[in-house]
């Protein structure tokens, strides 16, 4: 009896040992019961927007900005040549139509200075692929037609007012181009143009005062009679 009890005890003990071993083996295996597969530790990263990889061949913001400035440079060159040609023709007209020496001298300076400035810009235009305009703009042609119908003090007043208005606008545009131009030759030409146009504006404003014309573009005589 004792022997049987001993044997039974040994068998029960062996079974318990085997069952415990099987349980431990199952827990140590990946995917085992009660055990999740080992996952790599994930760092606690703050929420970040996804990184977008540029598509080859696409244009980025910097390239777009450069292209827009290049187009602005071309537009400036075209307008500068067009406006310069108009200043030359208007200066020639002033020498023919005006009866005032100071207006005639100003017209002569317009012809000389804007011819020289145009000759400086033409090679830059060719380099940039800008076709030289065939003549003044439609607006400038209308101004020429208006001035051709006038003479004496009426011509002087209309011409002086037009020159003040044009040179104020030109000075603003040349200053902007001198700061933003990509082409170094164009930047230098614009900087020189700023000096020339500033001198012209000072001259025509002084002539306006001599002819009793407000620098705002209105005749002092006509405004005081209202």
| Span 190-217, pLDDT tens digits | 999 999 999 999 999 999 999 999 887 4
pLDDT digits (tens, 9 = 90+) for 111-143: 999 999 999 999 999 999 999 888 788 999 999
Buried b / exposed e across 186-221, counting CB within 10 Å, b at 16+? Answer: bbebbeebbebbeebbebbbebbeebebbbeeebee
Give me the pLDDT at residue 134, please.
Answer: 84
Q: Name the 3-class secondary structure at 187.
A: helix
Q: Quick one: pLDDT at residue 38? A: 52
Q: What is the CATH number of domain 69-224?
A: 1.20.1260.10
Q: 3-state DSSP: the chain helix, strand, coil percent, rounded to 5?
A: 75, 0, 25
Angle between helices 101-128 and 152-180 (to 10 degrees): 30
Helix 152-180 × helix 61-97 angle, to 10°: 160
When pLDDT is cut at 50, 70 and 90, the band that residue 7 belongs to is very low
Query: Against a cut of 0.95, is the pTM above it?
Result: no
Condensed to tens digits (0 to 9), the pLDDT of residues 12-71 reads 555 554 444 445 444 544 444 444 445 455 555 555 544 444 444 334 456 787 789 889
- The CA distances from residue 13 to 21, 117, 125, 226, in Å, are 12, 111, 103, 126
Length of the chain equals: 226
């Amino acid at each position: 009896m004792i022997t049987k009890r001993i044997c039974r005890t040994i068998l029960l003990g062996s079974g318990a040992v085997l069952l415990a071993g099987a349980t431990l083996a199952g827990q140590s295996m990946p995917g085992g019961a009660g055990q999740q597969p080992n996952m790599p530790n994930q760092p606690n990263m703050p929420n970040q927007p996804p990184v977008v990889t540029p598509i080859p061949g696409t244009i980025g913001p910097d390239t777009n900005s450069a292209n827009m400035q290049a187009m602005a440079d071309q537009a400036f060159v075209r307008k500068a040549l067009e406006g310069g040609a108009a200043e030359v023709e208007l200066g020639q007209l002033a020498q023919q139509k005006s009866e005032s020496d100071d207006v005639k001298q100003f017209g002569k300076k317009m012809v000389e200075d804007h011819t020289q400035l145009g000759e400086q810009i033409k090679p830059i235009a060719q380099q940039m692929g800008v076709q030289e305009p065939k003549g003044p703009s439609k607006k400038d042609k209308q101004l020429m037609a208006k001035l051709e119908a006038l003479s004496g003090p009426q011509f002087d007043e209309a011409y002086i007012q037009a020159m003040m208005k044009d040179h104020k606008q030109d000075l603003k545009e040349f200053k902007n181009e001198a700061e933003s131009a990509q082409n170094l030759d164009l930047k230098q030409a614009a900087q020189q143009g700023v000096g020339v146009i500033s001198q012209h504006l000072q001259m025509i404003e002084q002539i306006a005062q001599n002819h009793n014309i407000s620098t705002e573009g209105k005749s002092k005589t006509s405004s005081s009679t209202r």
